[in-house]
A and B are shown apart, each in its own frame.
Chain A
C-alpha cells in the first residue's frame, strides 16, 4: 500500500523559505506512470495546486506562485521536496503531497498534510 508522509517545520518566519519533504513508501517515485505533486489549503479555504514533478525531473508549477516554488526529486531516498521562497502570512496553509496518475489522471494517494504557519 502506497503511503506518503510530509515532513518539515510547522512555523516559518515571513520572508524565509519553506522546505518540505514528502517521503514515499510502498512504491517508487521513479514510476513512469505517475507525477508527484504538492497541493495546499489555507485554513477554511479551498485547494490550490502548487506543482507536479515527473521522474525525469520535469516540473510544472502554478503560475500564481510567481516562480517562488521549486519541486525536486531524490530518487535515492524515494522522496520529493518543495521549496517555497519569500513566505508571507498568505502562505499559511495545510500542505499536502500526493501521487498524480499520468494516464487516468487524478491524485489517488495523499499524505496526511502538514500545517505551516507563517509568523514572526
Chain B
C-alpha cells in the first residue's frame, strides 16, 4: 500500500502569513491527491482535488500543487478562520490513505 507522509505536524503562524504544507507519497500517484481542512468538532471540508483544482466555494488563497510523489498546499495569506488541521488524502487507487495531519496554530 502507498504511504502518505505529511509535514510539518504543526506550524505556528500569524494572520497574513504564507503557509505551506507538504505531503509525500511513497510512490507516484500522478495527481490523485486531495486536501481537507478540519476545525474542532466539525467534519472535514474538501479544499483541493486532483492536486491543484480548487473545490467550489473555497477561497482562492488556498492552492495546491505537485504531482508524482510530492505535493503542497499553500495558504497565501492566512486568515483567522484558517486556523485548523489540514489533511492530504491519496486518491489514485484503493486503499485510500490520509496523511497524519498538520495543525495550523496562532503564533
**Min CB gap A2→B, angstroms:** 13
Contact with B along A14-52 (1 / 0, CB 8 A): 000000000000000000000001010000001111001
Please state if A106 and B91 are interface contacts (CB–CB under 8 Å). yes
**Is B97's CB within 8 Å of the partner chain A?**
yes
Question: In this complex, which of B55, B98, B100 has the most chain A Cβ atoms within 10 angstroms of its Cβ?
Answer: B98
Q: Tell me the complex Cα distance, A49–B36, Å.
A: 14
Question: B residues within 8 A CB of A63?
Answer: 1, 95
- Number of chain A residues whose Cβ lies closer than 8 Å to a Cβ of chain B: 23
**Min CB gap B28→A, angstroms:** 16
Please state if A60 and B44 are interface contacts (CB–CB under 8 Å). no
Please state if A104 and B50 are interface contacts (CB–CB under 8 Å). yes
Please state if B95 and A112 are interface contacts (CB–CB under 8 Å). no
Contact with B along A45-83 (1 / 0, CB 8 A): 011110010000000111100000000000000000000
Question: In this complex, which of A104, A107, A108 has the most chain B Cβ atoms within 10 angstroms of its Cβ?
Answer: A107
